[in-house]
Amino acid sequence: MLLLTTLAGGARAQDGGHFDGQYVGEMTLTRAISGDCTRPPLGATYPLTIAGGVFRFKYVPRFDTNLTGRVDGNGNFKATAQLHHGIATMTGHTDGLTLTAQIQSPSCEYSYTAKY
C-alpha cells in the first residue's frame, strides 16, 4: 500500500498539480516595442489560477486574452494566445509560493510577480 501511495504522489508531482492554487500578483510594463502599450494601474492586481497542473491567466491590460498552459513538475510553464495582430506569450516559473513570469505581445513586454 505504501508503494502505491508513493507512486501516486510521484505522478502528481510530475503533472505539476502540487503547484495548484490561486496566485495574485502585479504586472509591470518593462518594454514598449512598438505602438500603444498600456501601463497597468498602480496597485492593480491580477489573479492566476493553477488547477490540476493547468494555469489560467487573463491578460487584460491591452488585449483581454486568456492564456492557458501546463505547469511541469519543476514549476515551469508557457502559453501562447493568438491576438488580432500577432501572438501573446507568457513564460514563467513557480515554486508553489511565489510565481514570476514574462508576458510578451507584438507591442509590449510585461513582468508578472505573484504570491500564493
Antiparallel, parallel or unpaired: β 21-32 and 108-115: antiparallel
Give the domain extent around 29: 2-115
Q: What is the CATH number of the domain that holds 63?
A: 2.40.160
For 6, the enclosing helix (H) or strand (E) is: helix 2-14
Q: Which residue type occupies 60?
A: V
Neighbours of 17 (CB within 10 A): 16
Q: How far apart are CA 85 and CA 21, in angstroms?
A: 32
Q: How many domains does the chain have?
A: 1
Residuewise pLDDT in 10s, the chain (116 residues): 333 333 334 343 445 589 999 999 999 999 999 877 888 999 999 999 999 999 999 987 666 789 999 999 999 999 999 888 889 999 999 999 999 999 999 999 999 999 99
